[in-house]
Structures are given as structure tokens and as C-alpha cells.
Copies of this chain bind each other. A is one copy, B any other.
Amino acid sequence: MTPNTPWIGRTSALSFPPIADVNRLAAEAEAAGVDVISLGQALLGLPPPETALAAVRRYLDAGGSHGYSPDPGLPTLREAIADHLRRRKRIPGATASSVLVTCGANQAFLNTLLAITHPGDEMITFGPGYFDHDFAVSLAGCRGVEVGMPLVDGRFRFEPDAVAAAITPRTRAVVVVSPGNPTGAVADRATLLALLDLCRSRGLWLVSDETYDLLTFAPVEHVSAASLPGAERVVVLGSFSKVFALAGWRIGYLHGAPDLVSEALKVQDAAVVCAPVASQHAALGALSDADAFVARARAELTARRDALLEALAAWGGVEPVAPEGSTFLMARLLHRTDDVDLAFDLVRRAGVATVPGTAFGPRGAGWLRFSFGNQPPARIREALDRIRIACAGDAPRSAS
């Protein structure tokens, strides 16, 4: 490097985090006095479980020094997560030693990615898809190979045949996010079996990001890829951010084979040492009364989803795809073509934040992601009222 070469390296190939863009615009609007309604960030906007906060209070009250936990997490939490995986996700092989506690599911992905790849390797992902995975793949010096999710009978599908066609000698893993971000699509058991079978026959890891696992809408139920037979080379990424409304605490985990866990631990140590200890206590507290909280979260989330679907239908400017799970949905633009332009307009003219579909890759172009998890139904209806008024001048596309 000489003084005339650029100061920035691999990140120069990445765009800025799109959520940050939306947040910045919204913050500008708020600074100008607008009461912005966020249908942007994928949050479950409920207070966390009381048992989670009580556990943190006990940690604070215990006194003494506040050192690191063991790198892989508090033994009690690893055991509690393993129990959670066995009972609620039907993963029979989960044990304390198959679990590594991380600083959120993104960090679980980074740990896994760096453990299983060499620079130049390929990771197969589905699109439209979760941008942070694509960013991490680039940062690792790897190549993301995106497979499209066709819309069939009103559902985004994970297509094993398309994955098979994308495999090369450099492929290391197939990454499935189910419930999907931004699609809200849930991979059913037959699909997961086909993907796992493919991975097994080709010697690939199946990395299953199950961040929104328990947040599905009846009658759809989540199936964990690690609950299937022959799941030795499945890595599950999990999170307390969404299901337990603990996003700010940055606490998640991965579950996998012994060699994966011990290699991921090397990344963990170099990257963050261990997950924040207070957050680990929060997670322990959340798991101590999980069923009651999850039932309440699902009921509230269903009401919010229904409110959004109804209000979007009343507007008529987009065509939503009803999600099978998650805290958001994708909606196709009917009157306009540029999703970034529309998302910016919605902030400026309606005071409503959404995420433009192109944030999730080229297959998201012409779509918007609306999050319903973070707002009560009345607020969702207000947001769509505002949008309807602000976009009243948009003609149907066929008439323009």
C-alpha cells in the first residue's frame, strides 16, 4: 500500500445497511416534527418477559465482580437452551455441549461462516434474502450464490432443484432462513428433507437460520432442520431477539456438531470473547417461562398481521403476500415500480418507515417489506390511512 492507494478495503464493495438508511431518513423526519410510524425494523414490539428482567436484576443485586462467562456461555444457559431445543424444536440431539451462546444470531452466522469456509468458497442463499448474511459472506472473502424463491400459489418457495443447479466444487453450505426474511415463508418438512438430502449427498453444511422459529401463524408450524433424521451437518442459528423481544440484549446461539462448536468457539473468542453475561441471564430468565410468553406473542402478532393485511387491502397500492411466519411481510408495488423511491416517499409524505425490497437483493426490486411486529393494530391502521392519503394521486400502473 502506498499513500495513493485507497484507505478502505473489502467493505468498499458493500452498500450501507439499508435499515440504517431508513432509520436515518425517519430520524430526519422526526427531527422536523413528524410523528413517524416505523413499519421498518423487524422487531417484536412488546416488553420482554418479566422473568427475563427479573433475572438481570438478580445478577445486578448479587454484587461481586462482573467478569466474562466461559467463552461458550454460562453452563446453566447452555443446558436451558438445549432443553428448549429438545422440547420446543424437537431436536433430539441437543445437549449443552452442542450449544454455543453468541452475541445474537448474526454473530452465530459469522462464527459458523468463518469456521466452515476458506476465502473463495461459495455459500448458497435464497433471494430475496437477509442482507446481513450476504454482507458477512462478502466480508469473509466468500461468494454468495443466490437462488430465487418463486411465488407459487401465493407463497414464496424454497426450491431444492434450483439449489442443486447452483452447487459448484467451491460450495460449502446452503443457508436457509425459515421463517424467511423478508418473505415470511416457512420451509415445510418435505422441503427441508429434500434440502438436507441434497446437502448430504453433496457433502455440504445446511445452515438453518431459525431466528423467527416460534413466530408462525396457525396452522403453519415451524420445523427445525435439526429435527430431521440425518441432521449431523445441520447448524441451527437461534435468537432471543424476536421470539422473546430481547433484541437490544444481543443474545442468540448456534447448535451443531462437536467439531463445528469447537471451531466456532475460536471465532467467538477473537470476535467478542463471550456473549454479554447480563444478556445471558436475561435469556435464562426468558426460558424459565417461555410457553406463556410465546403464546401471548403469537396471539398479539397474529392480530397485528391481520390488521396490516386488512389495511393494505383497503389501500390497494400494493399486493401483499400473507406471511406464514415472522414479524413482517412482502408486498408487491402495483402503481409504481421503484421501491426505494416509494419507501423514501412514504417517510417524507406519510411519516411511515418501511424497507425497500431491493435492500434484500435484486429479487426484491418492486417490493416493499412492511413490519407489523413492532406496532399495535391501531397504529398500523393509522400508518396505512396516512399512506392511502399520501398516495391518493398514484394512478394504477396500467393507466399510467
Contacts and interface: CB of A to CB of B under 8 A. Distances in A.
Interface string A62-95: 0111111111000000000000000000000000
Contact of A10 (B4, B110, B117): B117
A69 B247 CA distance: 9
Given A66-B249, A103-B103, A135-B269, 12 more contacts: A1-B170, A2-B202, A3-B202, A7-B233, A8-B115, A47-B63, A67-B374, A136-B271, A139-B270, A250-B273, A250-B276, A272-B272
Interface of A: 1-5, 7-12, 14, 16-17, 19-20, 23, 41, 43-48, 53, 56-57, 60, 63-71, 103-104, 106-107, 110, 114-119, 121, 132, 135-136, 139-141, 169-172, 201-205, 233, 245-251, 257, 259-260, 262-267, 269-279, 374
A144 to B, nearest CB: 12
Contacts of A64: 47
Nearest to A16: B266
Contact of A247 (B67, B106, B169): B67
Nearest to A45: B65
A227 B64 CA distance: 35
A214 to B, nearest CB: 18
A262 B110 CA distance: 20
Nearest to A115: B11
Contacts of A141: 119, 140-141
A272 B104 contact: yes
A4 B270 contact: no
Contacts of A48: 65-66
Given A67-B45, A141-B119, A270 B136 contact: yes
A7 B274 contact: no
Nearest to A280: B248
B43 A65 contact: yes
A232 to B, nearest CB: 10
Contacts of A7: 116, 205, 233, 257, 259-260
Contacts of A115: 8-11
Nearest to A246: B66
Nearest to A279: B276
A277 B248 contact: yes
Contact of A43 (B1, B67, B119, B270): B67
Contacts of A270: 17, 106, 110, 132, 135-136, 139
